[in-house]
Every structure is written in structure tokens, then in C-alpha cells.
Amino acid sequence: MDPKPAYRRILVKLSGSALLGRQEFGIDREVLQRYAKEIGSVAATGVEVALVIGGGNIYRGVREASMDMTRAMSDYMGMLSTMINAMALQDALEKSGLETRLQSSIAMEEIAEPYIRRRALRHLEKRRIVIFGSGTGSPYFTTDTAAALRALEVDAEVLIKGTRVNGIFSADPEKDASARHFPRISGSEVLRRGLRVMDRTAFTLCEESKLPMVIFDVHSVGSLLRIVQGCHVGTLVHWDA
């Protein structure tokens, strides 16, 4: 008998850059299908799932050209990149038999619903997977901030962020083999140590609302399901005294 899910509603922040796979830019079909399979396994438990995905894999191809642009214009290009990934993910999920809704913070009526909080909540209640695209809809904010904001708006019980490493370490584990892994750490300790988890705005939003976060290796097959089942995976960031 499968264990009862530890959460009723979650928001998962997925890395757009991870969609590169072994390519220089673009979307690796195998990675996209793995994302869909992982998300599908979680949705099958009855947990309500909301998603935010970055756009690094698409934006990387135009980054050099955008270096001389204004920050606002460059950020809007990044938001459009997230929509490309969101549409690809939506298609992969629906081909797996899952019901989804894509909402955009920037009006794109032909391809996505406008972001409306009450509508998003209703979709989640009906067990539809809701994908939030185009960030916050405003420049100067990252997709980390968009993920934290949407998680709070839809009353998610946890923000789960997939990265290249399995949680939070005392140093970059890809550069320092002796880096210490933290299975569990308080938000205040993260700040005291100056550890990079999310951008400061996103982190502050979570801190103010005491929203727990789980940081895990997005490439680790089955990890997302294990997190939802209450297993210790990656790093849990909590706000206990």
C-alpha cells in the first residue's frame, strides 16, 4: 500500500537549463519526457500540482545578443523563453494522459489563459496540473521569485525546487568534494552562512509566510515522488526557531 502523501498541494520549480540535456541549447526530448513522467507519478497520488519552469535553455541562445539591451527588454525576452518551455511541458504532460492548464502573466490568449488566482485554484481543486508561465509578468524578477509568489498565492504547502545538486551544501559540491550536505536547515541559518538557495526576493517571500522549501536534484529519478511521500530527499529549509 502506497504511503499517504505528506502534502495536499505543492508548487514545483523546475530548471529550464536542465532541459538542455547534452545539447548546447534547446529542449532535450528525453529530459522533457522524464519531467512529464516524474510529475505524472506525483499527480497519481492525488496531490494537487502547480509548476513554474525557467527559460535558461532557450534564453542561452540569445544571451549574447541581449547583452547590449536594456535590462527590462532582456527580462521580457526571458519571460517569453519560459513560455516556450511551459508549452513543451504542457504538451508532454497531456500526451501522458494528464489534464493541464497553462496560465501566463503576459497576455497570450491564443496559447494560454491569463493568470487569475481564483481560476488557478479551481483548476487545482479539479486535479488539473497548472503551469505558470512568463514569470511574474514584470522585469527585474526571476522565475525563483515567480515560483515563491505563485506558491503563496495558491496556498501551496511546500515549494519544491529542482537544481543540479541534491540540496544545499556548505560550498559548491561540483567544485569542492568536501562540501557538507545539509539534510535539514533553518532559513535563518541559510542567511547567516550566506548560502545560495534562491534569489533574495524569493527567499524573503518564503520567510515572511514561513513557507517550507525542499531543494533536490532534478536529475534524480523518483526523487520528486519520494518528497511528496514524506521521505527525506535533498534539503528541507524550515522556519522553526
The residue with cell 514569470 is 135
pLDDT tops 80 at residue 60: no
Greatest CA separation for the chain: 57
SS3 3: coil
Model confidence, pTM: 0.94
User: How many whole angstroms from its chain centre is CA 228?
Assistant: 15
Q: How confident is the model at residue 174 (pLDDT cuts 50, 70, 90)?
A: confident
CB environment 207-230: b (16+ within 10 A), e (fewer): beeebbbbbbbbbeeebbbbbbbe
Q: Give the span between the Cα atoms of 196 and 214, in whole angstroms.
A: 14
| pLDDT(1) > 60 | no
Could you tell me which of 175, 167, 164, 108 has the C-alpha nearest to residue 135? Answer: 108
Domain-by-domain residue ranges, the chain?
9-238
- Residue 66's pLDDT is 65
Q: Which residue has the cell 547590449?
A: 68
Q: In which band, very low, low, confident or very high, does the pLDDT at 50 lie, cut at 50, 70 and 90?
A: very high
What are the φ/ψ torsions at residue 215 (nearest 5 degrees)? -105, 125
Q: What is the DSSP letter of 173?
A: T
Q: What is the pLDDT of residue 225?
A: 97
Local confidence band at 61 (pLDDT 50, 70, 90 cut-offs): low
> Over the chain, what is the mean pLDDT?
93
pLDDT of residue 64: 64
pLDDT band at 72 (very low <50, low <70, confident <90, very high): very high
Buried b (16+ CB within 10 A) or exposed e, 104-116: bbbebeeebeebe
Give the Cα separation of 153 and 150 in Å (integer): 5
Q: What is the pLDDT of residues 90-136, one digit of tens each?
A: 999 999 999 999 999 999 999 999 999 999 999 999 999 999 999 99
Predicted local distance difference test score (pLDDT) of residue 42: 97
Q: Tell me, what's the pLDDT at 69?
A: 85
Residue 4 pLDDT: 87
pLDDT at residue 65 tops 80: no
Write out pLDDT tens, residues 145-171: 999 999 999 999 999 999 888 999 999
User: How many angstroms separate the CA atoms of 171 and 139, rounded?
Assistant: 30
User: Regarding the domain delimited by 9-238, which CATH topology (the fold level of the hierarchy) does it fall under?
Assistant: Carbamate kinase (3.40.1160)
Mean pLDDT along residues 223-240: 95
Identify the bridge partners of residue 52 per DSSP, sorted by sequence position: 13, 132
